[in-house]
Structure 1
Amino acid sequence: MDLTGKVAIVTGAGKGIGRATVEALLARGAAVAGWGRTAPEGLVHDRFQFFECDVRDEVAVAEAFTNTVRELGPEIHVLVNNAGLGIMGEVDGFKSKDWKAMFDTNVHGVFLCTRAVLPQMKRQHQGHIVNVASLAGTAGSAGMSGYCATKFAVRGFSDALFKEVRPAGIRVTCVMPGSVETHFNGNQPGATPDPHKMTPESVAAAMVHAIEAPDTTMISEIQLRPANVK
């Protein structure tokens, strides 16, 4: 898909992979709606609009979609479901509210945002949905059962969704990064990049690559790992 003049929605746009994806899409000529609880600090662009949205809230998602269409037009060409939450801990000490918060954000939020855009994408017979999962959605890790469960769910949802909407001309890509230098799980990226982690920009570039693939090609899954191992 040529992104020039297209409209994209990116959830969790405030920082990290979300912000990098917004900037990458803008650089390719798209108009971008950023959805999230916090706006990307200092990001000003004539093709960027931020709409406050908690993806866990069905009403908030519907309002963000209505506002996006009002400001950027009726056609929605790209949705990047990036908003996510990671809380780690062993199962027998895990708080049920934290478990629920992760599923509400990582799984239910993906469903709500996807459901919001699909009718218009079907009318257009064109669209691309990118779901950001994780390598934690391919193999379990001790102390990460809840997070792994949500990302396995996103991967399964993505696999079923692409088979469901492919006849309607809609492509679906599940992106599964490994370690990325972000604020994830309370981390603070250092002034010097960690050579053993990927950058948010590299993950965003992979998404753009999938979105810009020829119309005859759908990249259904992408696994990303740091090139340098410890």
Structure 2
Amino acid sequence: MKTMVVGASKGLGRALIEGLGEAGDTLIGVSRSQPQGLVAQTGVALQWIEADLTNPEEAVPHLHRALDGQGLDTLIYNLGIWEPQAFTSAYDFLGDDDAHIQAMVSCNVSAPLLLIKRLLPLLLKSERPRIILTGSTSGLPRSGRPEVTFGASKFALRGIADALREGYRQQNLGVTCLNLGYLNTDDLLSTPRDIAEQHGEGQLIPVHDVVQVVRMALSLSSASFVSELTLPAIGDERF
């Protein structure tokens, strides 16, 4: 299986690169620069494409050219940016910079739309095509969060997933939207999970758990798929 992970240089993206795949599989990481010290699973081939999805008009054609002649089974879009004061008491929508709002919409909404549109013909050649979008609990109704642009962009991802499922159901395209709560991205996948889960006092999700969920979703047969999954922290009082 060949899987592309967009936004793979750090945090959850790096954990996905290090935790996904089995012997004989290929993982393609995408980020502005390739990080050092990545360790893929035994027998998994690792490729890297440098691209900046905050500029999708240039990045998407570049990624398409880089995949020329290759197949693709799974696309994981794990890239997203948020307001500078997001998730703090200092957040104020009226103080958001207009240019940054446009940059967020471009990276969080326009980029996945353009990339999926360009790569979908490759994906549909797979026997089991899959797209996984990293959403957020901020994109759920009554999320309890005030970040306007970030929340809107994550709502948009759920809409993208819904429409793609309907448009390409006959081609067996499975599209998953992961509604994730707050993550512990300080601890790498190499950190023992029983240690990582202690950080945040029940308010942070270890990246280990998200990797396990994605592995489960990708292990299913072609007869089923995970359409949407919400993964909040155990101590998140919004859920």
The CA deviation at 1:229 is: 4.7
* Match in the other structure for 1:194: 200
Secondary structure (helix, strand or coil) at the match of 1:42 reads: coil
Matches within 5 A, 1:6-25: 6-25=1-20
Q: 1:125 to 1:52 in 2, by over 3 A?
A: same
Task: Give yes or no for contact 1:126–1:168 (8 Å, CA) kept in 2.
Answer: no
The CA deviation at 1:15 is: 0.7
The residue type equivalent to 1:135 in the other structure is: T
Which structure shows the bigger proportion of residues in helix conformation?
Answer: 1
The residue type equivalent to 1:100 in the other structure is: Q
Task: Give yes or no for contact 2:3–2:27 (8 Å, CA) kept in 1.
Answer: yes
The residue type equivalent to 2:123 in the other structure is: M
Task: Give yes or no for contact 1:141–1:148 (8 Å, CA) kept in 2.
Answer: no
Task: Give yes or no for contact 1:36–1:83 (8 Å, CA) kept in 2.
Answer: no
- TM-score scaled to structure 2, two decimals? 0.82
* Match in the other structure for 1:134: 136
Task: Give yes or no for contact 1:77–1:127 (8 Å, CA) kept in 2.
Answer: yes
Q: Which runs of 5+ in 2 are unaligned?
A: 187-194
* Match in the other structure for 2:56: 57
The residue type equivalent to 1:80 in the other structure is: I
Q: Given the alignment, which residue of 222, 233, 239 partners 1:226?
A: 233
Task: Give yes or no for contact 1:176–1:222 (8 Å, CA) kept in 2.
Answer: yes
Secondary structure (helix, strand or coil) at the match of 2:168 reads: helix
* Match in the other structure for 1:79: 75
Q: Given the alignment, which residue of 163, 167, 171 partners 1:164?
A: 167
The CA deviation at 1:64 is: 1.9
Q: Given the alignment, which residue of 118, 130, 143 partners 1:116?
A: 118
Bigger shift: residues 87-96 or 217-226:
87-96
Q: 1:195 to 1:24 in 2, by over 3 A?
A: same
> In 1, Cα distance between the equivalents of 2:145 and 2:206?
25
Task: Give yes or no for contact 1:36–1:54 (8 Å, CA) kept in 2.
Answer: yes
The residue type equivalent to 1:25 in the other structure is: L
The CA deviation at 1:145 is: 0.9
TM superposition outliers: structure 1 runs of 4+ over 6 Å: none
The residue type equivalent to 1:176 in the other structure is: N
What CA deviation, in whole Å up to 9, does each residue of 1:73-111 have, x standing for no partner? Answer: 521000001011111232211111111111111111111
Task: Give yes or no for contact 1:177–1:223 (8 Å, CA) kept in 2.
Answer: yes
> In 2, Cα distance between the equivalents of 1:51 and 1:193?
32
Q: 1:28 to 1:166 in 2, by over 3 A?
A: farther
Q: 1:143 to 1:228 in 2, by over 3 A?
A: closer
Secondary structure (helix, strand or coil) at the match of 1:80 reads: strand
Q: 1:23 to 1:68 in 2, by over 3 A?
A: farther
> In 1, Cα distance between the equivalents of 2:236 and 2:106?
33
Q: Which runs of 5+ in 1 are unaligned?
A: 1-5, 184-189
Q: 1:228 to 1:91 in 2, by over 3 A?
A: closer
Secondary structure (helix, strand or coil) at the match of 1:103 reads: helix
- TM-score scaled to structure 1, two decimals? 0.85
The residue type equivalent to 2:57 in the other structure is: E
Q: Percent identity?
A: 27
Alpha-carbon RMSD: 2.2
Secondary structure (helix, strand or coil) at the match of 2:230 reads: strand
> In 2, Cα distance between the equivalents of 1:204 and 1:118?
24
The CA deviation at 1:27 is: 4.5
The CA deviation at 1:51 is: 0.8
The CA deviation at 1:212 is: 1.3
Which structure has the higher relative contact order (CA within 8 Å, separation 6+)? 1
